[in-house]
């Protein structure tokens, strides 16, 4: 439930309500607004509790949160969340582009592509050191050596880095290198991993599961937030449908739907959703036009020789052209890129 404090409520009255809620066994999440403060209270709601809270000084109203996700909901927090990753602000008026190869393959290739995507305007570097491959015989990533290469690329370019963690046992190590943890589509409902990623304190990039509904995805975000970490960015990366012409089907309607139901930023991955570099440009533009807060795009210096996801990777020169073209789309919807 949401406890709406009156605009005149004093700090002491707000603190008293929070204390009372805690005594009654609720977890509290105050949101201090310009005009009024609201307190999210998560727990089993009892009628006698609402009555006693409602009678406290400074309380204006109590509103139930109808959605099963509470902390991720727009009902609780109307203002858009901005997630800071290094100097970068995801959810603000500048759409953020994350770029880099699917996997870290070597120091030379990673650093060279990192410099090129920076030059073209990317704000965050991506790359996988632990790869969740469909086949156990496919390249699984360079693991900690890959993380070291990413950290060196951050030193050289000054850009923050995001990388996937696939196992609870690796969360601490991966978090010690990166600026943002990625939870991949295949792990969206790995609840222990979500909690550990949440507890790491690093911002979390939460990809939508292969067959997850938007509600299930927001419930996964709720796991991270309820572990004490508000810094969640959602990533639509295509879902399973009957269509086989593309690797997955990009659900662009998820962007405005998530904007309606949640305060969390949402970005789009046109690479994994299509599986083909040919469609990345069109869908990137579509995503920005739809209101996405950013993009995550795979870029590889030599896609034909990539160890992972070459067919969907843009060459650096094509990425550069796309970045220029995205500028006018962003302006058309009141943003920059």
Q: Tell me which residue of 299, 246, 293, 272 sits closest to 120, measured CA to CA.
A: 299
Using the rule CB under 6 A, give the single segment among 14-22, 82-90, 178-186, 280-288 that binds ligand PEP: 178-186
Q: Residues binding Mn ion: what is the number (CB under 5 A)?
A: 2
Q: Tell me which residue of 320, 325, 317 sits closest to 288, measured CA to CA.
A: 325
Q: Residues binding ligand PEP: what is the number (CB under 6 A)?
A: 10
Two tokens at 281? Answer: 């440009």
Q: Which is nearer to ligand PEP, 58 or 160 (CB)?
A: 160
Compute the least distance from the CB of residue 236 to ligand PEP, in Å: 9
Q: Which is nearer to ligand PEP, 237 or 263 (CB)?
A: 237
Q: Which is nearer to ligand PEP, 77 or 237 (CB)?
A: 237
C-alpha to C-alpha distance for 271 and 280, rounded to whole angstroms: 6
User: What residue is closest to Mn ion based on CB?
Assistant: 102
How many Cβ atoms sit within 10 Å of the Cβ of residue 181?
27
Two tokens at 68? Answer: 């099963």
Is residue 316 close enough to count as binding ligand PEP by CB under 6 A? no
Burial class (CB in 10 A: 0-12, 13-18, 19+), 27: middle
C-alpha to C-alpha distance for 67 and 73, rounded to whole angstroms: 7
Q: If you count them, how many residues does the chain have?
A: 337
Task: Using CB under 6 A, pick the residue from 102, 220, 221, 252 that binds ligand PEP.
Answer: 102
Q: Choose the one of Mn ion, ligand PEP, none that binds residue 263, judging by a C-beta under 5 to 8 angstroms depending on kind.
A: none
Compute the least distance from the CB of residue 253 to Mn ion, in Å: 23
Two tokens at 318? Answer: 């094509």
Compute the least distance from the CB of residue 165 to ligand PEP, in Å: 11
C-alpha to C-alpha distance for 85 and 147, rounded to whole angstroms: 17
Compute the least distance from the CB of residue 72 to Mn ion, in Å: 26
Is residue 101 close enough to count as binding ligand PEP by CB under 6 A? no
Ranges within 120-159 binding ligand PEP (CB under 6 A): 128, 132
What Rg value do the Cα atoms of the chain yield, rounded? 21
Largest Cα separation within the chain, whole Å, is 68
Strands 161-164 and 124-126, bridge-based pairing:
parallel
Ranges within 301-320 binding Mn ion (CB under 5 A): 309
Contact 308, 126 (CB under 8 A): no
Ranges within 21-80 binding ligand PEP (CB under 6 A): none
User: What residue is closest to ligand PEP based on CB?
Assistant: 184
Contact 72, 262 (CB under 8 A): yes
Is residue 236 close enough to count as binding Mn ion by CB under 5 A? no
Is residue 164 close enough to count as binding Mn ion by CB under 5 A? no
Burial class (CB in 10 A: 0-12, 13-18, 19+), 304: exposed
Q: Tell me which residue of 69, 64, 76, 124 sits closest to 100, measured CA to CA.
A: 124
Rounded to 5°, angle at Cα 334 from 117 and 217: 70
String marking each residue 60-99 x if it binds Mn ion according to CB under 5 A: ----------------------------------------
Q: Which is nearer to ligand PEP, 207 or 285 (CB)?
A: 207
Ranges within 213-272 binding ligand PEP (CB under 6 A): 237, 269, 272
Task: Using CB under 6 A, pick the residue from 83, 185, 218, 322 that binds ligand PEP.
Answer: 185
Is residue 269 close enough to count as binding Mn ion by CB under 5 A? no
Q: Which is nearer to ligand PEP, 75 or 269 (CB)?
A: 269
Give the footprint of Mn ion on this chain (CB under 5 A).
Answer: 102, 309
- Residue numbers of the site for ligand PEP (CB under 6 A)? 102, 128, 132, 184-186, 207, 237, 269, 272
């Amino acid at each position: 439930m949401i406890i709406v404090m009156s605009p005149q409520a004093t700090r002491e009255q707000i603190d008293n309500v929070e204390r009372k809620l805690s005594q009654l066994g609720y977890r509290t999440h105050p949101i201090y607004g310009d005009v009024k403060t609201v307190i999210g209270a998560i727990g089993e709601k009892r009628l006698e509790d609402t009555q006693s809270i409602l009678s406290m000084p400074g309380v204006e109203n109590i509103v139930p949160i109808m959605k099963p996700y509470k902390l991720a909901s727009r009902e609780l927090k109307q203002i858009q969340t901005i997630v800071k990753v290094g100097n970068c602000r995801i959810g603000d008026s500048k759409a953020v582009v994350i770029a880099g190869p699917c996997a870290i393959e070597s120091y030379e290739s990673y650093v060279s592509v990192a410099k090129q995507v920076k030059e073209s305007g990317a704000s965050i570097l991506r790359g996988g050191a632990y790869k969740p491959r469909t086949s156990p015989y496919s390249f699984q990533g360079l693991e900690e050596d890959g993380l070291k290469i990413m950290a060196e690329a951050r030193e050289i370019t000054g850009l923050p880095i995001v990388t996937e963690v696939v196992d609870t046992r690796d969360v601490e190590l991966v978090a010690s290198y990166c600026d943002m943890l990625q939870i991949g589509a295949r792990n969206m409902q790995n609840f222990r991993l979500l909690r550990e990623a949440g507890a790491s304190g690093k911002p979390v990039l939460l990809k939508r599961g292969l067959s997850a509904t938007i509600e299930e995805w927001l419930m996964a975000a709720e796991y991270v937030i309820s572990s004490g970490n508000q810094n969640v960015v959602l990533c639509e990366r295509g879902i399973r449908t009957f269509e086989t012409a593309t690797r997955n089907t990009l659900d662009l309607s998820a962007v405005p739907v998530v904007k309606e139901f949640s305060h969390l930023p949402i970005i789009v991955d046109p690479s994994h959703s299509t599986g083909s570099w040919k469609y990345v440009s069109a869908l990137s533009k579509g995503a920005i036009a739809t209101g996405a807060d950013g993009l995550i795009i795979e870029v590889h210096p030599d896609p034909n020789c990539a160890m992972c996801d070459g067919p969907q990777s843009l060459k650096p020169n094509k990425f550069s052209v796309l970045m220029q073209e995205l500028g006018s789309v962003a302006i058309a919807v009141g943003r920059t890129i």
